[in-house]
Every structure is written in C-alpha cells, then in structure tokens.
Amino acid sequence: MTVVITGASRGIGAGLASHYRAQGLEVMGTSRSLAADFTLDVTHPSHHSEMARALGEKPVELLVCNAGVYLDKGDNLETGYGADLWAQSFATNGTGVFLAIQALLPHLRRASSPRIAIISSQMASSELAPGGSYIYRASKAAVLNLGRNLATDLKPEGIAVGIYHPGWVQTDMGGDAAAITVEESVAGLVERFASLNVETTGSFETWDGRAHPY
C-alpha cells in the first residue's frame, strides 16, 4: 500500500508519515524543504507533475492533503489581511490541494480502495463563526467545499473523499497551549482514514470521529 502525504516534514504530516511507516507501508512524504521524501511546493503545478512521474505506475491507496499555511494569525481588521496573504493562502490551502489530487488521480484510479483525506479545520465552518482570521477561515472553507464537490464527482469511480478537523494540536501552527498532542491527533485521524469509504464520502469529521458542523 502506498500513502502520499503533503506537508510531511513536521507536525501532523510527519506524525502520520511515521505511523504509516511503522505499519510497514510505503510512504511518500512531501515538503517544500529537503526534509522529506519528495520536495514539493504545492503552489507550483510543475512540482505536482514531477511527483506523479516519480511515482511511476504505482497505485496510491491514500492521499493525505495536509500541507497548509496560516499567514494572517493575529492580523488586525483595520490594517492587516493584505492582498498578498490572501493570494498565498488560497494558493496553498485551496489550489494546492486541488493540484495534488488532479496530478495523482491516475494513481488513485489504479488502487483497489482509493481514499483522499483533506485536512481542513473547524475554522472552515460557516456555522461556527467567532470572527477573525478571515483569510485562514476562508481558505479552509474553500477546501471544505472543494472536498465535498470532489466527493460527488469521484464517488462513481469508487474514490472516497473525507474532510477532517485534526483538532487544536500542539504544533508550530497550533502553539504550545493547544488541546491535544500530535500523537493524539494522528491516532484519531488514522482511524478516520481507515473507515472512509464511498458510503461516507464527503463527510466533514473531527479527529475523534464526531460529525463537524458545516
């Protein structure tokens, strides 16, 4: 079984890669840095094409779209949220996810039970709207919408798509005061990915298995 994880050099992505390797699975972890199996900037279409070529004819049973940025953390409504931050955030958190899925569709189609796991956030929810972090929230809402629509289009092919809130996790993004550890998040997410199938495709769930408000 081959697993591809974007944004795998640290945090949740690194934790997922370590878990699957410990299970004896073949893992391709990507990162913008050299600290990964494959160097991938998800905003560059050519990098995705190179990743697909590097995989050759291998079927990919699980694609985890984890790479993401939170560039407007703490920004002020009157003076922050610059246009460049909007462009960079959507290029990574939205377009980057789509490009990864598009590039690896032939590999997913070769697998017996292909699954796509998109790491979004509770901050994607339009029902839970406490304000602030407008760019991050909007980009994660966009990828939630993307995942839901891909689930509809790919279901007839037997490709399942799940969207997940990984929890408030003690990572560089989440901070030391976050509620759960990387290990706790990974343990829950792995269970969610394992139970994902075409019957549950399009679901938005928390790391610990609760349906998340849209």
Residue 75 zone, left/alpha/beta (φ > 0; ψ -120 to 50; rest) = beta
pLDDT digits (tens, 9 = 90+) for 16-59: 999 999 999 999 999 998 778 999 999 999 999 999 999 999 99
Q: Given this model, what pLDDT does residue 62 score?
A: 98
Whole-number pLDDT of residue 170? 75
Amino acid letter, residue 60: V
Which pLDDT belongs to residue 78? 94
Backbone angles phi, psi at 146, to 5 degrees: -60, -50
Instruction: Say if residues 67 and 7 touch (Cβ distance below 8 Å).
Output: yes
- 180 vs 106, which has greater pLDDT? 106
CA distances from 208 to 112, 128, 133, 155 (A): 26, 18, 24, 24
pTM: predicted TM-score of the whole model, two decimal places: 0.94
- The domain covering 56-206 belongs, at the CATH homologous superfamily level, to NAD(P)-binding Rossmann-like Domain (3.40.50.720)
**In this predicted model, what pLDDT tens digit does every residue of 165-175 receive, in sequence order?**
997 777 666 56
User: Which has more pLDDT, 181 or 176?
Assistant: 181
Structural tokens at position 191: 């269970």
Report the pLDDT averaged over residues 83-89. 98
Compute the distance between CA of residue 60 and CA of residue 27 in angstroms, rounded to an integer: 10
pLDDT at 178: 63
Binning pLDDT at 50, 70 and 90, where does residue 190 land?
very high
Question: What size, in residues, is the chain?
Answer: 214
The pLDDT value recorded for residue 174 is 59
Q: Which residues contact 56 (CB under 8 A, 6 or more apart)?
A: none
DSSP string, 142-193: HHHHHHHHHHHHHGGGT-EEEEEE--SBSSTTT-TT-SB-HHHHHHHHHHHH
The pLDDT-based confidence of 179 (bands split at 50, 70, 90) is low
Q: Percentage of the chain surpassing pLDDT 90?
A: 83
What pLDDT sits at residue 34?
77
